[in-house]
Amino acid sequence: MLKIIGIPRSTYYYQKNYRVEEKKGSEGRPAPGYSTKEDGKKVSDEQIKEFLMEEIEGDGFNYGYRKLTKVLRRKYKLIINKKKVYRLCKELGILRP
């Protein structure tokens, strides 16, 4: 019958193999809430947010999360990932388009 109509069999018997699910937030592991310094001391995320606010206030320069990451690494000797700095900046609402 499908040959007569000219429809491929794969099209006729096509079924979706996936389910559309709503996202319920991130599925990764939860953030630990702290970072470490080069000497091994723990620094809380709240303290890192204060460092970020100190760095962006007053001077009028544009800071992105990558530049802020470098500042945190050099000035405060933190071992921190740029993705974490992005997340913290997003929570503070200091990201610019």
Q: Which residues pair with 20 in a beta bridge?
A: none
Q: Write out the residue range of the structural domain in which residue 91 sits.
A: 32-97
Q: Which residues pair with 37 in a beta bridge?
A: 78
One-letter amino acid identity for 84? K
Q: Using one digit for the tens of pLDDT, what is the confidence trace for 48-74?
A: 999 999 998 876 677 899 999 999 999
pTM: 0.69
Centre a 10 Å sphere on the Cβ of residue 65 and count the other Cβ atoms it contains. Answer: 18
**Is residue 86 a part of any domain in this protein?**
yes
Residue 77, C-beta contacts closer than 8 angstroms, at least 6 positions apart: 37, 38, 39
How many independent structural domains does the chain possess?
1
Tokens of 29: 């592991």
**Is residue 18 a part of any domain in this protein?**
no
How confident is the model at residue 2, as a pLDDT?
Answer: 78
